[in-house]
Structure 1
């Protein structure tokens, strides 16, 4: 059952979500499912399964699907999901990064030393996202679906931005 979750705000306009995000549960889901067959392989749709994979991971971390907001998975394997669910945000209009930022659930983090598991890694020069599965202040690792599925790949030279979960939704 899909439910639309609208955040509420207090008198100082701080976000209060009716759910919590467990970034470690999202990380564990990504690690456990990195080698699953891509639901949207690149020969079926333009792009790869990367945003679908990240959306599933953060949903398994506790962020509820939102039918009205177009962030929901397909009803059947390979069916049509919401626009924000299986797009990265590279087009500037729809995608998991845009949805999470607009809802206030994630924010862009400029200090790589603070990035940790459960964050989203977003490639700046191509349409691709991954889930950060490790961050200790000096090393960042990510797990992805893309041209290949990889687990705990060490971030080195990718031109990427990072989006961390807002403290208002963290478990």
Structure 2
């Protein structure tokens, strides 16, 4: 029997928000894929809070690229692995506009500018009704979590698996 991977998901939105509901729904499906997800709903963690995260794998969603970059630097410095994403102000990722991914693994850092379309998702305006965006956001959240937890080697593969 293989052991599940623990993943901490750090998000800026409130726990009772629509985005949090979608994120939790995506996380429920990950347990059977071998990923145990825990959440932190907070605007921006302190360096001490990041160092005290017990999980080695982290996905962080921010509405501000500076906060995402700062988080990635601190988490990498603390020996964690994962990435911080900055996209839409409401959901942490935009389905229409560009998103900034800041990868970290110990003292190694990389950033990339990506669109949801890069992962074969449709372009949907951020102003579209929530019910139109929800299924795609759940799939994207699931893919992001799979990749951050190390369950897939590429983001495209993680997104494809997250869609299924």
- TM-score (norm. length: structure 1): 0.24
Q: Which has the higher helix share?
A: 2
